[in-house]
Amino acid sequence: MFTSAFRLTRIILTVLRFRLDALIPFDKLPWYLRYTLGLLCQLGRKRAIQNRGERLRLALESLGPIFVKFGQILSTRRDLLDDDIADELAKLQDKVPAFSGKTAQAIIERDLKAPVSELFAEFSATPLASASIAQVHTATLHSGEEVVVKVIRPNIEKTIRQDIGLLYTLAHFIAKSSSDGRRLRPVEVVTDYEYTILDELDLAKEAANTGLLQRNFTDSELLYVPQVYWDYCQKNVMVMERISGIPVADIKALNAAGTNMKCLAERGVEIFFTQVFSHSFFHADMHPGNIFVDVSNPEKPKYIAIDCAIMGSLDDADKNYLARNLLAFFQRDYRLVAELHVESGWVPKETPVHAFESAIRSVCEPMFAKPLKDISFGQVLIGLFQTARRFNMEVQPQLVLLEKTLLNIEGLGRQLYPDLDLWVTAKPFLERWMHQQVGPKRLFEEVRKQAPEWAGQMPKIPNLIFSALSQASHQEERMQSHTAAIVELSKEVKKTRRGLPFRLLGLVSLGTAWLTINPEALKHLQSADMLSISLFIVGLYLLILKP
């Protein structure tokens, strides 16, 4: 708690220091917060920097990697930000202040257990790029391949855990403060983000992710993933092929190379939906600093993806639900959208579907009045999110990465090609995928997947048949034996009924049944001992019947 309070104090001081009051919507705050914050922000008036975007960038850099990540995400949303802020935040992609090359060399030698001179023919102590979690150095292997060496920042885990602790404190406060806060499920969202960002600190996992993504796009015309050199990969160090390409955010260079920007933007959307729906494994950190373009064939440009630390996946149920929902949006079937939300449990089961449908229509229909190319999927989500508050819709943590990535893709696509029609690009892909889920090809795939298991059971079938027939034969013999026992018991009852206390005999019969019934058989009555059940019935009969 002390650490979180200290960190919160630092955030407040950073806001004051960099005069971020210019970004606060004071007119929407309660009067007491408006005047308090206004008074406090006077302390930062002497700050020389006048550009609000630069102030925000420097503030995020000073607060550390979690806040830099936040700025990276924002930088792709030019439809939501003014140009001066977006331009400054774009500098966060690969221009975070570097740490010492000597420190990087020491980390490499510690993890790979050999001097740099033995590991590489050449190694540059000057970093090629520096990001929030790690930085990259160029090198050459003794075999001649040019590579890049990625090194985790020293002591970064401590800072991240402090920030995560603060986020948990804020999340618990939000969850307890209002029903609106509980609906957002902030604690679950922070937990999901904690898992994601801590994974970024393990470069061995990133190497494995890179290898899988590379296999998924082997010989693909859409995306190239660099080769990993496994002998040089540990938790804090990763070595991979050095790629050459134009940064996807360098629009001038792409245009100068004669790049088909429409094709490039549409391919980005296709790559995203291929990863999500075909591979169930998608790059969830696709900001411009992690994407390059191979323009060797400018009419059919090819993406190059790096930094596979943050990857996402969806199960079949989530994919099916997502595809149906998106198609319903495309087709303006608001009734189906409302029903899907109720069916999936995203809104309470008692939600009146017709009222929810009407609310969704009121948000989406005005947007569809514009040309499709001018519709922002991000704006649709924001509108729906605001509308759903009335219906207690909960945030789904498992889809946070997907939503963030989709927003990044749309922002990047519009930056490359302002006339990008995300709806038209995605709709045929989704329809094709849905058809595959219910068509004969899907049935054949399921049969193919189950074939090895079925084949493994085939040799057992004769024994299973013989065993079943034997059990049936034994069961028939036992039934005959039980029937004879019941007849004998009835005779004995008739003989002793007048000489023994009637109810005592009933209790003895019930007790005998209780002791002889196998407790496990009670769970499966079809295999219970028939004699025990018979004794139970006879005892019950004797208790009820009058002498």
Per-residue pLDDT tens over the stretch 105-116 = 999 999 999 999
Distance separating the N- and C-terminal Cα atoms of the chain: 77
Is 136 annotated in a binding site? The answer is yes
For 472-518, the pLDDT digits (tens) are: 666 666 666 656 655 665 565 555 544 445 555 555 555 555 445 54
Closest to 149 measured CA to CA, from 132, 135, 166:
135
Q: Residue 253 and residue 264: Cα distance in Å, rounded?
A: 14
Is 90 annotated in a binding site? The answer is no
Is 204 annotated in a binding site? The answer is no
pLDDT tens for the chain, 547 residues: list them: 556 567 677 777 787 778 776 666 555 555 655 666 666 666 555 454 568 888 888 888 888 777 777 777 667 666 556 778 877 887 776 567 789 999 999 999 999 999 999 999 999 999 998 887 899 999 999 999 999 999 999 988 888 888 888 778 777 877 776 666 666 667 876 777 787 778 889 999 999 999 999 999 999 999 999 999 999 999 999 999 999 999 998 999 999 999 999 999 999 989 988 998 889 899 988 877 789 999 999 999 999 999 998 888 888 877 887 788 778 877 889 999 888 888 877 778 888 889 989 988 888 887 777 776 677 766 666 666 667 667 776 666 566 677 778 777 888 888 899 888 777 777 787 777 777 776 555 555 555 555 566 556 666 666 666 666 666 666 666 666 656 655 665 565 555 544 445 555 555 555 555 445 544 444 444 444 555 555 555 555 555 554 4
Contacts of 352 (CB under 8 A, 6+ apart): none
Give one DSSP letter per residue of 190-233, joined into a string.
HHHHHHHHHHTT-HHHHHHHHHHHHHHTTT-SSEE-PPB-GGG-
Is 481 annotated in a binding site? The answer is no
Give one DSSP letter per residue of 328-343, joined into a string.
HHHTT-HHHHHHHHHH
**Is the separation of the CB atoms in 75 and 86 below 8 Å?**
yes
- Cβ atoms within 10 A of the Cβ of 176, count? 9
Is 344 annotated in a binding site? The answer is no
Is 319 annotated in a binding site? The answer is no
Is 134 annotated in a binding site? The answer is yes
Contacts of 342 (CB under 8 A, 6+ apart): 348, 349, 351, 353, 356
Q: Residue 338 and residue 356: Cα distance in Å, rounded?
A: 6
Is 472 annotated in a binding site? The answer is no
Active-site residue list: 285
Domain boundaries, the chain: 1-93, 96-242, 248-468, 498-505+518-546
Is 338 annotated in a binding site? The answer is no
**Is the separation of the CB atoms in 361 and 334 below 8 Å?**
yes
Contacts of 218 (CB under 8 A, 6+ apart): none
Is 132 annotated in a binding site? The answer is yes
341, amino acid identity: H
